[in-house]
Amino acid sequence: MRRLRTLPAVLALAAAAACGISPTGPWTAGEQLVGSGRQAVNQIYFLKDGELHPVLRAGLDPGRVMVIGQLLQGPSEDELRDGVTTQVSLPHYGPVTWDHAGEVMTLRIWDDRLLRLSRPALAQLACTATAVPGVSRLEIQGSTGKPTAYTCEDFKDLAPRGKRAGSGATPRPEGARLPGAGTAPEQGTAPGDGLP
Partner 1 sequence: MTARERETREGVSPGPRHGPAPSGGGPAHDHGVRPGAAAPEAAAPRDGTAGDGTAGDGTAGDGTAGDGTAGDGAPPPGGEGARARRARRIRALPLRAGGLRVRLVAGFVIVALLSSMAASLIAYNIIRDAILKRTQDAVIADFRSRAARHIPGSAPVPADWWGRPVAPGASELTRRLAAAFGGPGRAAVATELTRGQKPLPPHYARLGVPVPDGLLKAMESKTAAQRIVYRGKPYLLVGTMVPMMNQVSVEPVPGVITFRLQGDANEVPEALSVVVAVDLRSDARELAGLERALLIANGATLAIALGLALVAARGVLVPVRRLGRAARELGEGALDTRVEVRGRDELAQLATTFNRTAATLEANIGELRAMEAASRRFVADVSHELRTPLTAMTALTDVLSGDDPGPEADRDKAARMVADGIRRLQSLVGHLIEISRYDANTATLVLDDVNVAGALRTSLSVRGWEDGVRLEVPEDLMARLDPRRFDVIVANLVGNALRHGAPPIVVRVRPEARGGRPGFTLTVLDHGPGIPDDLLPLVFDRFVKRDPARAETEGSGLGLSLTRAHAELHGGHVTAENSGLCGAMFTLWLPREQPGCDD
Which stretches of the chain bind partner 1, using CB under 8 A? 4, 7, 11, 14-15, 18-42, 55-60, 63, 65-70, 72-73, 75-79, 92-93, 97-98, 170-171, 173-175, 190-196
Which CB atom, from 77 or from 144, has the smaller least distance to partner 1? 77
Nearest distance in Å: CB 168, partner 1: 8
Which CB atom, from 79 or from 139, has the smaller least distance to partner 1? 79
Cβ distance 57 to 190 under 8 Å?
no
- Distance between CA 53 and CA 46 in Å, rounded? 5
- Distance between CA 27 and CA 68 in Å, rounded? 43
Nearest distance in Å: CB 114, partner 1: 16
- Distance between CA 186 and CA 132 in Å, rounded? 9
Cβ distance 67 to 107 under 8 Å?
no
Asked if the bond preceding 62 is cis, omega within 30° of 0, the reply is yes
Nearest distance in Å: CB 136, partner 1: 20
Which CB atom, from 3 or from 146, has the smaller least distance to partner 1? 3
For 130, phi then psi, to 5°, come to: -80, -10
Nearest distance in Å: CB 23, partner 1: 5
The single-letter DSSP state of residue 57 is E
Which CB atom, from 14 or from 118, has the smaller least distance to partner 1? 14
Nearest distance in Å: CB 187, partner 1: 11
Which CB atom, from 5 or from 146, has the smaller least distance to partner 1? 5
Residue 16's contacts (CB-CB under 8 Å, 6 or more residues apart) are none
For 53, phi then psi, to 5°, come to: -135, 105
